[in-house]
């Protein structure tokens, strides 16, 4: 029976030019024979968990995933029961209610500011940089922040709302370079604490708040920005998000929205990502974003930086891997393997256009 399961996995991987115990960097070395049944039964969840457990290894994990995605092996994995169950639950219920939305803050963004500071670099931006002409990660992230500020045509004295402000990276940059006042909201207590420290002395106010609690202000914001937060909104809440952004924004204002995007309209995320990295997350399609913004915003510009996110994730991984022993002691070896699996699988997804990352400049409908 074990031989038949191994043969099935070998045949599947062969369609992506991946060998078991082969000589190339993207080939896999299997240490536990139970790997085959686990992957066939559980799909991507079994693949990721068995990697965390040390059941298999791969020298170039990003290249393994690039080949697997290009060959469509992820679509086969979506037929496994964990993916089917998650899809049904996401269709029937709202996995991004106010109560559930805090789970990703606690389980991911609060995992440790020291880890994110070491991984993300000087600007603490947890989304793609802009690598056109950039020398390194810090310059790529500075170029990205400046791109957003210029697209928003920021001027001194403007009031800006940052929905999902993270560690205050955009708020700090925009206040220092463009002289604007920024209010930022986040659901992560760890992000808030460090962000307030980094922005001390600047016209920046960061607070814990859900986007749904944004109220209309007698003096609305000149600009609204949201970078890498929309992935946590969920398909059942897109109308609420755009309604909240519209309430906050002046009639002649602009919204800059950056989000990872899916090539297809789906209603749930990958089961392994759901369990270990971003609980209750969802990647929108163009159709879903369009339906969410209808009658509230119109797109003025829409850019795709998938290739930039590949380079950004590889830079984050290099920073993380350079201190592997530190993180292994502080967290655990399975945690480090989990983090490697996360960063390199995502890099591969952008590399082969399995995922997109959109930068959108939007104008409100009056």
For 124, which DSSP code?
A: -
Rounded to an integer, what distance in angstroms lies between the CA atom of residue 199 and that of residue 265?
Answer: 38
Catalytic site residue from 149, 165, 199, 346:
346
Query: CA nearest 285: which of 240, 230, 246?
Result: 230
Query: CA nearest 44: which of 265, 209, 270?
Result: 270
For 18, which DSSP code?
A: -
Beta strand residue intervals within 238-296, DSSP E: 249-262
Partner residues linked to 58 by β-bridges: 28
DSSP, collapsed to helix, strand or coil, labels residue 351 as helix
Please state, in angstroms and as integers, the Cα–Cα distance from residue 17 to each residue in 42, 44, 78, 255, following that order.
Answer: 22, 18, 20, 44
Partner residues linked to 342 by β-bridges: none
Whether 346 is catalytic is yes
Query: CA nearest 252: which of 116, 364, 95?
Result: 364
Which residues are annotated as catalytic? 346
């Amino acid at each position: 029976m074990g031989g038949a399961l191994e043969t099935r996995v070998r045949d599947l991987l062969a369609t992506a030019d991946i060998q078991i115990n082969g000589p190339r960097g993207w080939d896999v070395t299997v240490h536990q024979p139970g790997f085959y049944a686990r992957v066939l039964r559980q799909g991507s969840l079994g693949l990721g968990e068995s990697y965390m457990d040390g059941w298999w290894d791969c020298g170039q994990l990003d290249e393994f995933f690039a080949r697997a995605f290009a060959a469509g092996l992820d679509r086969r994995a979506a037929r496994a029961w964990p993916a089917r169950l998650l899809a049904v639950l996401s269709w029937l219920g709202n996995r991004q209610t106010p109560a559930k939305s805090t789970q990703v803050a606690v389980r991911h963004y609060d995992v440790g500011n020291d880890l994110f500071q070491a991984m993300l670099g000087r600007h603490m931006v947890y989304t793609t940089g802009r690598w056109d002409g950039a020398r390194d990660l810090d310059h790529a992230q500075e170029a990205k922040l400046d791109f957003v500020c210029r697209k928003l045509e920021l001027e001194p004295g403007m009031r800006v709302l940052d929905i999902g402000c993270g560690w205050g990276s955009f708020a700090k940059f925009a206040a220092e370079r463009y002289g604007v006042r920024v209010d930022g909201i986040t659901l992560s207590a760890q992000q808030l604490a460090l962000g307030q420290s980094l922005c001390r002395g600047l016209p920046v106010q960061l607070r814990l708040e859900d986007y749904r609690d944004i109220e209309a202000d007698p003096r609305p914001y000149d600009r609204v920005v949201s970078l890498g937060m929309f992935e946590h909104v969920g398909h059942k809440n897109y109308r609420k998000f755009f309604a909240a952004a519209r309430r906050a924004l002046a009639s002649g204002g602009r919204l800059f929205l950056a989000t990872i995007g899916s090539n297809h309209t789906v209603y749930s995320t990958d089961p392994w990502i759901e369990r270990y990295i971003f609980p209750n997350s969802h990647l929108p399609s163009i159709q879903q974003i369009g339906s969410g913004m209808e009658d509230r915003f119109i797109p003025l510009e829409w850019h795709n930086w998938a290739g930039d996110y590949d380079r950004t994730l590889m830079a984050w991984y290099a920073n993380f891997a350079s201190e592997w022993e530190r993180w292994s002691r502080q967290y655990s070896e399975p945690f480090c393997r989990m983090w490697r699996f996360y960063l390199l699988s995502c890099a591969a997804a952008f590399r082969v256009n399995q995922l997109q990352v959109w930068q959108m400049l939007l104008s409100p409908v009056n």
